[in-house]
Amino acid sequence: MKCAEVIEWMHRYLDHDLSHEEITEMYRHIDACPSCADVFDRLTTLSRQLEQLPDVKAPFSLVDSIMPQLDELDRQRLEAGKKDAAGDVVVPFTRSASQDKRRKGSALARRTGIGAAAAAIILGIAIFNMPEQMPGAQVETMLSQDSASSKADNSSAERSMEASNADMADSGAAQNTPASAAGMNEDTADMYSSAVAGGADTSSQNSGDMNSDVASESTAPRISKKESVSSLVTPSASSPGQRKLGDSGQEQPGSAGAATATASPVQSPEKDVYMTLIAPTTEPGALSWTSADGRHMAVVEGEKLAIYNISANKADKALLTTVPLEGKWVSGEWLADNLQFNYVTQKDGIEVKNVFTIPQVDTSSTPLPSGSPAATGSDTPSETPSIK
Amino acid sequence: MVEQGLIRAAQAGDRDALITLLREIEGHVYKTAFYILHNEQDALDASQEALIRVYTKIGSYEEKAQFKTWVQRIVTNICIDKFRRTKPTISMDEHEMVFQDKQDVEREVMSGYLAQDIREAIDQLPEHHRTVIVLRYLQDLSYNEIADCLDLPLNTVKSYLFRARQQLQNRLQEYQKGGVSG
């Protein structure tokens, strides 16, 4: 056995890495080799000294000294966790998401984009399938029946609320409904047919970003249904508007429609897709529908459906007739001719479609809509910019 | 030896357990840092940094490794980084001068060296040699555990350790002989 090899074994011996046989062999060599014995003595001494190196301690508790930093780390982690959690909850179409003001600004563009695409798809389905509305279902899953125009895109609902508020302020047309109606579009969209206010004023090219503006084809490119468009066109734009509460400050019948029309929001890239319209209802929660020309209102009153005539100045409403309802109320809406009210009730789990038609006599007495376009045209431009 | 249950509790988010764990290891952490860096202030800084890292990374510890080697790995990495930043590597030639003032001290080989001499000798070792010596003698780790800590092959660890001891012995022998001119 060579000395160099023995010296390596010495190291291994010191590190408890030798077997008994190896130790024996190593000692045998050391006994016979004075120089290796010398090295061995030095190494064992060194190793013993190293093992006896004094313990050292920090002059203070290190853990205590870093406590403030640990607390700070915890705080940061907590915040990061919250952010992550919030990030996971991005569900653009739910009510909670649209009401989440924290994310409103940053995610608005994205959400409106997604919402626009979804709205287009849903509208398409709605048009071809004519789905029945289901009370209480998620807004995004449903649209009002054929009048696609009436459904506020959910994601834009909050926007529409703001917009309508702004409009109210700007126009001074003391509309009592739009603000609350916009909110309701979001919450109970199914409940409101939200007829396009006389605001669907076809002649006003100005409200270009509103899809309800049927006149400009470009506004609703994705909404491939002419049907609903045409239904919007027909309502005489000029009619005094669907304000049922007589307190509106508007004296001129024509301008009312314009004010409501401007309430639709929509600034997204695909700005045309939005269908947000203000349902002209009296109060939130009330089941009532006003015809597009503003002359008739259908109200669910308990077990009955009441049809009212609204006077030209909108100050009064006169009960025209009541219809007993068979079963549970599901939905209702005015048709584009303002004379026919379609509604759906549910009895024993089966939905029944009903139609109520206004006698022609009444309509003839109301002012003709034709006068308004000029008025609306002038009003709308000034209001539209405020929405943007 | 740190109790496994405490580690699991700490990993599960029990902050008290984690703090208790840190208190149990802080002595070991500081000792390693002190002997590698040979400077109290640097050792304090490195130890605090290591403990904070343990605190934040406890979730990434896996039981297939020993907790003590996992901790030592953290502290030695920090020390080596610190060492490289603050100290230029001392060459074998430079250190000779340090021992010249000890020329007159007489020592018996078998009576052992002064602890202070050993510490100074350790301080003269290249960083990896010093680190293996510290882990072997101050933390009482085996070859395998040192290899785990330093991410080095087992044979490299052995080689570092042998050479480190040899260098220490040579230095101390020079001491004992009254210094050898370089």
Contact A42 B43 (CB under 8 A): no
Contact B35 A56 (CB under 8 A): yes
pLDDT band with cut points at 50, 70 and 90 for residue A169: very low
Q: Kindly state whether A53 is in contact with chain B, defined as any CB-CB distance less than 8 angstroms.
A: yes
List the alpha helices (DSSP H) in chain B. Answer: 4-11, 15-37, 40-57, 67-86, 115-123, 127-133, 143-150, 154-176
Question: What crossing angle do the helices spanning A34-51 and A3-14 adopt, rounded to 10°?
Answer: 20
Residue A354 has pLDDT above 50, yes or no: yes
Q: To the nearest whole percent, how much of chain A has pLDDT over 70?
A: 44
Q: Kindly state whether A350 is in contact with chain B, defined as any CB-CB distance less than 8 angstroms.
A: no
Q: Which of A308-317, A319-328, A356-365, B169-178 has the lowest mean pLDDT?
A: A356-365
pLDDT band with cut points at 50, 70 and 90 for residue B69: very high
Mean pLDDT of chain B: 82
The more confidently predicted of residues B14 and B111 is B14
Average pLDDT over residues A166-193: 44
Kindly report the nearest CA distance between residue A5 and chain B, in angstroms: 12
Kindly report the nearest CA distance between residue B123 and chain A, in angstroms: 13
**pTM for this predicted structure:** 0.45
The answer to whether the CB of B42 falls within 8 A of the CB of B87 is: no
DSSP 3-state assignment of A307?
strand
- Residues of chain A in contact with residue B56, where contact means CB-CB under 8 angstroms, are 73
Out of B56, B143, B165, the one facing A73 most closely (by C-beta) is B56
State residue A299 phi and psi, 5-degree precision: -130, 135
- Tell me whether residue A40 is exposed, middle or buried, using C-beta atoms within 10 angstroms of its C-beta: 0 to 12, 13 to 18, 19 or more: buried
Out of A43, A52, A63, the one facing B165 most closely (by C-beta) is A43
- Sign of the C-alpha dihedral computed for residues A157, A163, A169 and A175 taken in this order: negative
Which two tokens mark A319?
A: 């009960």
DSSP 3-state assignment of A200?
helix
Q: What is the pLDDT of residue A295?
A: 80
Average pLDDT over residues A64-82: 88
The pLDDT tens digits for A357-373 are 877 654 444 444 444 44
Residues A131, A122: Cα–Cα separation, whole Å: 10
DSSP 3-state assignment of B166?
helix
Residue A114 has pLDDT above 80, yes or no: no
Average pLDDT over residues A286-306: 80
Contact B27 A15 (CB under 8 A): no
Secondary structure percentages of chain A, helix, strand, coil, to 5: 50, 10, 40
The answer to whether the CB of A128 falls within 8 A of the CB of A111 is: no
Q: To the nearest whole percent, how much of chain A has pLDDT over 90?
A: 14
pLDDT band with cut points at 50, 70 and 90 for residue A133: low
The answer to whether the CB of B45 falls within 8 A of the CB of B78 is: no
Determine the residue of chain B that is closest to A64 in CA distance: B23
Residue B30 has pLDDT above 50, yes or no: yes
Determine the residue of chain A that is closest to B161 in CA distance: A11
Q: Kindly state whether A109 is in contact with chain B, defined as any CB-CB distance less than 8 angstroms.
A: no
The answer to whether the CB of B22 falls within 8 A of the CB of B51 is: yes
B108: left (phi over 0), alpha (psi -120 to 50) or beta: beta
Q: What is the pLDDT of residue B87?
A: 57
Q: What is the pLDDT of residue A343?
A: 83
The answer to whether the CB of B149 falls within 8 A of the CB of B135 is: yes
Contact B115 A15 (CB under 8 A): no
Average pLDDT over residues B135-147: 94
Q: Which helix (H) or strand (E) holds A375?
A: helix A373-387
Question: Tokens 């800590």 — which residue?
Answer: B149
For chains A and B, count residue pairs whose Cβ atoms are closer than 8 Å: 96
Kindly report the nearest CA distance between residue A6 and chain B, in angstroms: 12
The more confidently predicted of residues A5 and A350 is A5
- Residues of chain A in contact with residue B23, where contact means CB-CB under 8 angstroms, are 61, 63
Q: What is the pLDDT of residue A361?
A: 57
Out of A17, A46, A54, the one facing B172 most closely (by C-beta) is A46
State residue A351 phi and psi, 5-degree precision: -90, 135
DSSP code of B60? G
Q: Kindly state whether A11 is in contact with chain B, defined as any CB-CB distance less than 8 angstroms.
A: yes
Out of A15, A45, A59, the one facing B136 most closely (by C-beta) is A15
Residue A333: beta bridge partners?
Answer: A342
DSSP 3-state assignment of B20?
helix
Contact A57 B27 (CB under 8 A): yes
Mutation site, B20, B42, B55, B120, interface A, largest A CB count within 10 A: B55
Determine the residue of chain B that is closest to A45 in CA distance: B112
- Residues of chain B in contact with residue A81, where contact means CB-CB under 8 angstroms, are none
Residues A231, B124: Cα–Cα separation, whole Å: 93
The pLDDT tens digits for A218-264 are 444 444 444 444 444 444 444 444 444 444 444 444 444 444 444 44
pLDDT band with cut points at 50, 70 and 90 for residue A85: low
Residue A383 has pLDDT above 80, yes or no: no
The more confidently predicted of residues A378 and B24 is B24
